[in-house]
Amino acid sequence: MRTLRTVAEVRDHVASARAAGRSIALVPTMGAFHDGHVALMRDALERCDEVIVSLYVNPAQFGESADLAAYPRTEHEDAAIARELGVDALFAPADAEMYPDGFATTVTVGRLSEVLEGAERGPGHFAAVCTVVCKLFAIVAPDVAFFGQKDAQQVVVIRRMVRDLNLPVELATVPTVREPDGLALSSRNARLGPADRERATALHAGLEAARAALYDGERDPRAVEAAGIAAMAAAGVTPEYFSLVDPDTLEPVSAGARRVLVVVAARVGPARLIDNLPLDLEPVATR
């Protein structure tokens, strides 16, 4: 596996792969690999000939500088994991390579970036994500780019950017990888002490309570949300938001919606955690 530091190196690498007729996958990450990242890399390796994993902690998308400072940086271990899996190249650029002097362009996806995480973290968060992902698409020019369902809003926002800007890339979404007790894997879980680690299962418990309420026939979205919030309270966690939203628009659903995305965010001790559950309620009608 090669480690590439510059845009020029990536362009050369990709040009050779293309000349050899190889399809190209991009897996954008911020490193500190866990089994969620591994699932993305495995899917990419299965679908494409040449897999490029980017490892870049994008400072622009961190609202709180403390969060950026605390973000784990484990490139050496990450490279070993990627190499072992069979990844072809790691793109790990320095900040100056991604944001050279005079950098002045931002890609903003309107309304979708302003709700949920956008409302909590500020409108600049998804603008920073979209800008860096757009740059990565332009640098690597992948056939397929892989993203985790764990960051559901990120997928929705990037999908809209790709559509609106006619970017020639296919997006693949990989299901959320969880711990045995349901906690979604996240680099931020490492910040949880034992007591907070136990409380952190509240997010999954809330999502499952919402699922149970829907499958029991509750059709009032606000009542379903109340059931989820109550389950979280039982575990000692109050969510920042817990909502049933449309999986394409991210707007709150009304009663009777068939496709629903249940989204939750909560602070648990020192970590801010998010999780979600995409549901198709069609089977319920026939039960």
Stretch that binds ligand AMP, among 182-190, 203-211, 212-220, 276-284 (CB under 6 A): 182-190
Give whichever of 176 and 201 is closer to ligand AMP, judged by the CB atom: 176
Question: Does residue 37 belong to the site contacting ligand AMP (CB under 6 A)?
Answer: yes
Give whichever of 185 and 213 is closer to ligand AMP, judged by the CB atom: 185
Question: Does residue 29 belong to the site contacting ligand AMP (CB under 6 A)?
Answer: yes
Question: Does residue 186 belong to the site contacting ligand AMP (CB under 6 A)?
Answer: yes
Least distance from ligand AMP to the Cβ atom of residue 211, Å: 18
In the list 153, 187, 201, 243, the residue contacting ligand AMP (rule: CB under 6 A) is 187
Least distance from ligand AMP to the Cβ atom of residue 106, Å: 19
Question: Does residue 131 belong to the site contacting ligand AMP (CB under 6 A)?
Answer: no
Active site residue 76: no
Longest dimension (CA), the chain: 60
C-alpha–C-alpha distance, residues 157 and 228, integer Å? 25
Question: Does residue 206 belong to the site contacting ligand AMP (CB under 6 A)?
Answer: no
Question: Does residue 177 belong to the site contacting ligand AMP (CB under 6 A)?
Answer: yes
Least distance from ligand AMP to the Cβ atom of residue 36, Å: 3
Question: Does residue 150 belong to the site contacting ligand AMP (CB under 6 A)?
Answer: yes
The DSSP H or E segment spanning 232 is helix 221-234
Question: Does residue 176 belong to the site contacting ligand AMP (CB under 6 A)?
Answer: yes
Among residues 13, 34, 37, 125, the one annotated as catalytic is: 37
C-alpha–C-alpha distance, residues 69 and 72, integer Å? 8
Q: Strand pairing of 170-174 and 24-29?
A: unpaired
Residue of this chain nearest to ligand AMP (CB atom) = 148
Collect all residues with Cβ–Cβ distance below 8 Å to 221 and sequence separation of at least 6: 244, 252, 253, 254, 255, 257, 260
Amino acid at 203: L
| Rg of the chain taking only CA atoms, in angstroms | 19
Q: Which residues of 110-139 are buried (b: 16+ CB within 10 A; e: fewer)?
A: eebbebbbbeebeebbbbbbbbbbbbbbeb
Question: Does residue 118 belong to the site contacting ligand AMP (CB under 6 A)?
Answer: no
Q: Could you count the other beta carbons within 10 Å of the beta carbon of residue 107?
A: 17
Per CB under 6 A, contacts with ligand AMP among 246-265 are none
Least distance from ligand AMP to the Cβ atom of residue 187, Å: 5
Give whichever of 98 and 185 is closer to ligand AMP, judged by the CB atom: 185
Q: Rounded to the nearest 5°, which phi and psi values hold at 144?
A: -135, 135
Q: Is 192 left (phi over 0), alpha (psi -120 to 50) or beta?
A: beta
**Between the CA of residue 13 and those of 16, 134, 141, 274, what are the distances in Å?**
5, 19, 11, 35
In the list 4, 14, 17, 40, the residue contacting ligand AMP (rule: CB under 6 A) is 40
Q: Is the dihedral of CA 102, 28, 192, 260 positive or negative?
A: positive
Question: Does residue 161 belong to the site contacting ligand AMP (CB under 6 A)?
Answer: no
Question: Does residue 184 belong to the site contacting ligand AMP (CB under 6 A)?
Answer: yes
Look up residue 214 and give its two tokens.
């829907």
Question: Does residue 36 belong to the site contacting ligand AMP (CB under 6 A)?
Answer: yes
Residues with catalytic function: 37
Give the interface with ligand AMP as residue ranges (CB under 6 A).
29-30, 36-37, 39-40, 147-148, 150-151, 174, 176-177, 184-187
